[in-house]
Amino acid sequence: MGAAPTGAQAGTEQPGVYIVQKGDTLYSIALNHGLDRKELAEWNNVPDTGTIHIGQQLSLSPPSPQAGPSLFSLPESSPPSAPGVTPGPAVPSEAKVPANTERFKTEPKAFKLPYSEPAVAQLKGVVDAPRSVLAKVDPMVEKQTGTILPPAESPSEVISDPDRLDWIWPAKGRLLEAFSEANKGIDIVGKAGEPVTASAAGKVVYSGAGLRGYGKLIIIKHNNTYLSAYAHNNKILVKEGQTVAKGQKIGEMGSTDTDLVKLHFEIRKNGRPVDPLKHLPGISG
């Protein structure tokens, strides 16, 4: 669609860090990286949403609570003995699991890794492990039944995308413009005042008109992977921080910052625009 944020396309010099480009705002940087704008400001100690400068380095992940990552290894330490209690025989290493489990429950933030290529590869290796099992099962089933089985894209997709959602259309109307590199979403033509609804449940992370080219905009964060954006509203009915249900009315269709009454709708996966038509069911009513 028209003018869209371009700063994120300039790239970062190192994983997890973004260099502010000309025309960037916290709103556009957060949208392009799938982040909550308020969290981004907090991580970088930015008190005012307008006080970022060209060349400034912004961290795209929360500050590490420890000097080094402790996701896969924890320092082993023996629990202190209670006064007057004689230490018992040596306990096998397996018996120490509850202690580590307790640490996972009480210190969840200590086990998060910032986004980086090595971290993604490391986690992807764990997620992709069951695929070899699927590959072994399919030929046996095919041999026994004598039928040709469909490709295994669907199981693989479910395994590799645990945050996948069941989306619904955010508005009724005619599809005006499909997804493209320039448009970054789809445009649905309708009448002024018609309802705009949340395409999936989530939390409103932006509600306002601070992002050029989008007019009155609503951004909903659905999980750690997906955001959705609803632009050009005539009226916004939700506030930042509000939790919304799938199908809940969040705004009214309008023509703010555009010359036609329409809803511009985007789905972003890890901050990158993806084709909504590959996620939405059927066609708009």
Q: pLDDT tens digit string along 158-214?
A: 446 788 899 999 999 999 999 999 999 999 999 999 999 999 999 999 999 988 899
Name the burial class of residue 65, with classes exposed (0-12), middle (13-18) and buried (19+) by CB atoms within 10 angstroms of its CB: exposed
Q: What is the pLDDT of residues 56-100, one digit of tens each?
A: 888 888 887 643 333 333 344 445 444 554 555 554 444 444 444
Q: What is the pLDDT of residue 121?
A: 56
- How buried is 156 (Cβ within 10 angstroms: 0-12 exposed, 13-18 middle, 19+ buried)? middle
Confidence band, pLDDT 50/70/90 cuts, at residue 118: low
* Chain centroid, CA 4 distance in Å: 19
For residue 7, the model assigns a pLDDT of: 43
pLDDT at 59: 87
CA contacts within 13 A on the Cβ side of 217: 23
Whole-number pLDDT of residue 67:
38
CA separation for the pair 215, 21 (Å, rounded): 22
**Amino acid 36: pLDDT:** 80
Length of the chain: 285
Secondary structure letter of residue 133 according to DSSP: H
| CB atoms closer than 10 angstroms to residue 69 | 14
Beta strand 57-59 with 17-19: parallel, antiparallel or unpaired?
Answer: antiparallel
- Candidates 53, 45, 58, 44; CA nearest to 22 is 53
